[in-house]
Structure 1
């Protein structure tokens, strides 16, 4: 495994470590205040670009694991953003 891939995996693991705290905050606070939809969408696009890079380059397929994990975590936070948006506006919550 090249050093560049090792360092990329470490970076993605560090990012992944931060998302559960953000998800917990979104779940517990029941508000979207303090969250940025644009920021989360930009992060998802970045992770999807990382996944596309791995698929296009046909090398280091194991890199799909941290990219997919991080994308899933951000999508969970986005789902909670949607739930909290509905709570903030007094609309029925689907979950």
Structure 2
């Protein structure tokens, strides 16, 4: 993370443990909440992502350092979870 007015922002895509669930997802939720309020005609200011990101850098959450499932196990879980939905939409 860098200074608020830095041009160095989002220079690489990362999916490290916890980054999707604790950083990207909440940040997208802030953005979508803002858009929903704008659609509803509410006079709201855009989220201050710098403040969100700075607060995130100070968190001390713990995340697993080893995979929970093997790739095969994860594939089977995903197949079982989404197979019916895919079959329904792609008839």
Q: Which structure exhibits the higher relative contact order, with contacts defined as CA atoms closer than 8 Å and separated by 6 or more residues?
A: 1
Please give the TM-score of this superposition, normalised by the length of structure 1: 0.33
Q: Which has the larger radius of gyration?
A: 2
More helix by share: 1
Please give the TM-score of this superposition, normalised by the length of structure 2: 0.34
